Amino acid sequence: MTEISTNLEKAKVILKSDELVAIPTETVYGLAANAFSENAVKKIFALKNRPAFNPLIVHIASISDLDKIAKNVTPLAMKLAEAFWPGPLTLLLEKKSIISDCVTAGNTTVAVRIPNHPLTLKLLSELPFPLAAPSANPFMSISPTNPQHVKNYFDGKLKFILDGGSCIDGIESTIIGFKDNQAVLYREGSCEIAELEKIAGILLKPEKTATTIEAPGMLKKHYAPKTKLVVTTNISESIQEHFGKKIGVLSFIALETFPEVYIQKHLSSGNSLKEAATNLYSTLIELDSLHLDLIIAEYMPDSGLGNTINDRLERASSS
């Protein structure tokens, strides 16, 4: 049985014995292990069925912990850290040798962030090591945004889920790396590009190389429900194309109703992309549990977090 509890002491004991604990963050739940223990980190890859080429994010408690794991941190990286941590921003920094290749998948950089969740910040500050943690879902599936999602994925295979309620941001962190002292956007996420650009200037796109996937979060198919999903700018037209099927509709706001579909969900009750981001994964997970033939999702307005949601919807719809 997998325990869901707020008992920090128990979480610490389990982590210190090289076992895994699921932890709450403001973005999504993470599947955490002692980042300094290869033995513990390997258990993350095994439980998630995650390929070894996909590196992990290391979570620390405060900026003063940064020099334990990273070196040559530039003034630009430091400015971003100071502006956005704790928060949904992950920085790719030169790693120190204490971080094993197992965590970084052989990369010379380590992904680092300070998550903004009171319980996890307390946990991190009381542990003698940082926590390596990917999202707490099996490889390729939708990231969990509450403890029950995690339990449904790993029941019986994971001892302990630290209960921090529902994640307020609901979408993974934004990942920024550096090239020639300029910031490079590796993954869109909860930290908004316009905010980052106020500090870092225009964000560059990563160079594509033939053999390496620098951020597999950018894999074309990712974050996917088991149910087939299409994304559209015209819900009515998509419904007509799939007439007779058991359809779930996912829209931004409840503008129109579609009586011919089995279920209809909207992501925001107002006109809030922030609220839509918070609700995206939990709504997709709910629709995915209904044995639908098809989920028809509407493109969000293409600004700010709308772009991030559209990125996730496209990956979820990719075959």
Name residues contacting ligand TXA, limited to 116-175 (CB under 6 A).
133-135, 172-173, 175
Q: How far is the CB of 90 from ligand TXA (least distance, A)?
A: 5
Of Mg ion, ligand TXA, none, which one does residue 214 interact with (CB within 5 to 8 Å by kind)?
A: ligand TXA
Burial class (CB in 10 A: 0-12, 13-18, 19+), 23: buried
Q: Which is nearer to ligand TXA, 50 or 317 (CB)?
A: 50
Name residues contacting Mg ion, limited to 131-160 (CB under 5 A).
135
Q: Which is nearer to ligand TXA, 181 or 233 (CB)?
A: 181
Name residues contacting ligand TXA, limited to 36-95 (CB under 6 A).
54-57, 88, 90, 92
Residue of closest CB approach to ligand TXA: 217
Q: Which is nearer to ligand TXA, 105 or 253 (CB)?
A: 105
217 near ligand TXA, judged by CB under 6 A: yes
Strand order of the sheet with strand 294-298? 229-232, 294-298, 247-251, 263-266
Nearest to 90 by CA among 66, 71, 108: 66
Partners of 248 in the β-ladder: 263, 295
Q: How far is the CB of 136 from Mg ion (least distance, A)?
A: 9
Of ligand TXA, Mg ion, none, which one does residue 27 interact with (CB within 5 to 8 Å by kind)?
A: ligand TXA
What residue ranges bind ligand TXA (CB under 6 A)? 25, 27-28, 30, 54-57, 88, 90, 92, 104, 107, 109-111, 115, 133-135, 172-173, 175, 186, 214-217
